[in-house]
């Protein structure tokens, strides 16, 4: 049975679960966000869909600077805005009570509301009532109505690349999007596959794995990267870390369901502890070994094809860091923001994984 299907039944019919219907252009709502990490849906949309973002709305105590004009909703509507996007991903995915007047105002302007929070817009009667009046749609993108089967582990046609990390929030989504962009620009047949709310906002499809019951995560990964043409690549956004004691089961299920031919390891070199806990960041070698060891179950040929470092906070010599890691791990090392990912694609070519 589908665990997800069940959890959404009997909800308001105006609620839309299909992220592909998030219509541009967007107004990005920052709320009162204090931490840049919590604004990652906004910064993600801004980087990958800049031309669809016409302005931002923020509360007076919002602390995160965003390079987008502040906009008045009346003006946004005049400029053709279609969707008011809640661009905040706070701890716990809570809908801030102080945001409600802003959301209501947007609904009253007839804008759709898109949210990647755990809390559902459709659980707030006031928002549902207002949306029913103006015809605005409430898009709870983190939740889906698509039935998810249990994983079979059967080999599927087509190729798959998965990004993994030494921690959460270290560049897995960005790296997967950059690889997809760079593969496409070289004419490689490929698709980005989102597994979190920001990736879904950017690509318009996918499953937020952190809302799925444990037994069905590998099944969601199988559904996400279905059988395809032999030379097609799914570039799958990883989640968490396989050596993170809070949630390693989620990346393990994603690894099994994705059955990747290739993986790229993402790492933030300045971080000392894994997010949210007191454990030190595991070594790249340890995560690579655990990934290969556990990944062989559904793809005996799994191999690491690169390391992606997020050097945004790194104070040392970036070239030296990359050279050292590359020598140590014998794969290309890139910062996707600075370098793009062509070195990884070249490497995949050189080892026969890609035949462009």
- Residues of this chain that bind a second copy (CB under 8 A): 1, 3, 6-7, 92-94, 118-119, 150-154, 209-215, 217-219, 243, 245-253, 256-257, 276-279, 290, 293-294, 297-298
| Closer residue to a second copy in complex, CB, 152/185 | 152
- What is the full DSSP assignment across 74-115? HHHHHTT--EEEE----GGG---GGGHHHHHHHHHTT-EEEE
Q: Are 305 and 262 in contact (CB under 8 A)?
A: yes
| Closer residue to a second copy in complex, CB, 10/51 | 10
| Closer residue to a second copy in complex, CB, 30/151 | 151
**CB of 165 vs a second copy, minimal distance in Å:** 15
**CB of 206 vs a second copy, minimal distance in Å:** 15
| Closer residue to a second copy in complex, CB, 1/79 | 1
Instruction: Compute and round to an integer the Cα radius of gyration of the chain.
Output: 20
| Closer residue to a second copy in complex, CB, 187/245 | 245
Q: Are 179 and 308 in contact (CB under 8 A)?
A: no
Distance CA 335, CA 171 (A): 9
**CB of 276 vs a second copy, minimal distance in Å:** 7
**Token digits of residue 143:** 């939740």
Q: Are 347 and 305 in contact (CB under 8 A)?
A: yes
**CB of 27 vs a second copy, minimal distance in Å:** 27
**Token digits of residue 126:** 């006031």
**Token digits of residue 265:** 């390891």
**CB of 138 vs a second copy, minimal distance in Å:** 17
Distances 271 to 57, 275, 308, 311, 339 between C-alpha atoms, Å: 31, 9, 15, 11, 21
List the strands of the sheet with 138-140, edge to edge: 53-58, 26-31, 83-86, 112-115, 138-140
Ramachandran angles phi, psi of 127, nearest 5°: -70, -40
Residue for token digits 């209501």?
A: 104
**CB of 101 vs a second copy, minimal distance in Å:** 23
| Closer residue to a second copy in complex, CB, 7/228 | 7
| Closer residue to a second copy in complex, CB, 279/314 | 279
Distances 206 to 178, 231, 235, 277 between C-alpha atoms, Å: 17, 21, 12, 28
**CB of 309 vs a second copy, minimal distance in Å:** 23
């Amino acid at each position: 049975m589908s665990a997800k299907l069940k959890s959404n039944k009997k909800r308001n019919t105006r609620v839309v679960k299909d992220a592909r219907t998030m219509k541009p252009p967007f107004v990005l709502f920052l709320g009162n966000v204090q931490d840049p990490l919590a604004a990652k849906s906004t910064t993600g949309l801004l980087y990958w869909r800049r031309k669809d973002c016409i302005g931002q709305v923020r509360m007076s105590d919002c602390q995160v600077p965003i390079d987008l004009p502040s906009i008045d909703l009346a003006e946004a509507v005049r400029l053709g805005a279609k969707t008011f996007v809640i661009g905040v991903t706070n701890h716990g995915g809570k809908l801030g009570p102080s945001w409600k007047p802003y959301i209501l105002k947007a609904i009253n302007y007839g804008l759709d509301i898109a949210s990647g929070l755990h809390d559902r817009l459709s659980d707030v009667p006031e928002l549902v009532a207002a949306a029913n009046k103006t015809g605005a749609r409430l898009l709870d993108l983190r939740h889906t109505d698509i039935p998810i089967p249990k994983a079979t582990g059967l080999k599927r046609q087509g190729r798959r690349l998965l990004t993994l990390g030494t921690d959460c929030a270290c560049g897995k989504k960005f790296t997967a999007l950059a690889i997809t962009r760079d593969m496409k620009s070289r004419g490689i047949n490929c698709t980005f596959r989102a597994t979190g709310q920001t990736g879904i906002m950017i690509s318009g499809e996918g499953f937020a794995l952190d809302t799925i019951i444990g037994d069905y995560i590998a099944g969601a990964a199988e559904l996400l990267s279905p059988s395809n043409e032999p030379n097609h690549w799914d570039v799958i956004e990883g989640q968490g870390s396989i050596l993170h004691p809070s949630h390693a089961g989620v990346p393990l299920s994603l690894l099994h369901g994705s059955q990747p031919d290739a993986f790229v390891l993402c790492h933030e070199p300045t971080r000392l502890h894994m997010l949210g806990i007191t454990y030190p960041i595991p070594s790249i070698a340890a995560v690579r070994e655990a990934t290969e060891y556990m990944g062989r179950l559904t793809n005996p040929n799994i191999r690491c094809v690169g390391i992606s470092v997020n050097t945004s906070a790194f104070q040392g010599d970036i070239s030296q860091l990359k050279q050292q890691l590359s020598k140590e791990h014998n794969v290309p090392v890139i910062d996707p923001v600075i370098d793009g990912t062509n070195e990884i694609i070249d490497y995949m070519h050189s080892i026969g994984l890609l035949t462009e």
